[in-house]
Amino acid sequence: NNIVQDMDTLHLIARTVSDICDVADQQDVIMHGIDIISAFDEIISQGLRDNVDLSKLRTIMEMESHEEKIQEIIERNKEREAKQELKRKAKMFEQQRREAAKRGMDPNLGGIGSSGSMLSGGRISGVYEPLISREPEPSRSFAAASPAPSSAASFSSGARGMKLGRKPKGADVLGAMRDEVGLADNFANNLNISEQAAPVNAAPVVPALPPVDMKDVHVQIEEHITAIVNRDGGLEQMEVKGDMSLIISKPEYSSVQLSVTTDSSHNAQVKTHPKIDKKRFQAESVIALKDPSGSLPLSQPVGVLKWRIVSSDEESIPFTINCWPSPTGSGTVDVNIEYELTDTKLELEDVVVSIPIPAGVQPTISDVDGVYEVNRPRSTLDWQIPTVDTSNKNGSLDFSVPGDDAGAFFPVIVSFACKKSYYGVEVSSVTASDGQESVDFSQNIALIPEQYAVI
pTM reported for the whole predicted model: 0.56
DSSP 3-state assignment of 174?
Answer: helix
pLDDT attached to residue 204: 46
Name which of 174, 193, 196 is nearest 377 in CA terms.
196
Lowest mean pLDDT among 20-29, 60-69, 131-140: 131-140
**Number of other residues whose CB lies within 10 A of the CB of residue 271:** 13
pLDDT digits (tens, 9 = 90+) for 177-198: 444 445 444 444 444 433 333 3
pLDDT attached to residue 446: 95
Identity (one letter) of the amino acid at 344? T
What is the tally of helices (H) and strands (E) in the chain?
Answer: 7, 20
Cα–Cα distance, 257 to 276 (Å, whole number): 10
Asked whether the CA dihedral 197, 199, 204, 207 is positive or negative, the reply is: negative
Lowest mean pLDDT among 62-66, 140-144, 319-323: 140-144
The stretch 355-363 carries a mean pLDDT of 89
Identity (one letter) of the amino acid at 352? V
More confident: 407 or 3: 407
User: Mean pLDDT score of the chain, rounded to an integer?
Assistant: 78
Name which of 262, 269, 303, 240 is nearest 449 in CA terms.
240
pLDDT digits (tens, 9 = 90+) for 198-237: 333 334 444 444 566 789 999 999 999 999 999 988 899 9
Q: What are the beta bridge partners of residue 272?
A: 305
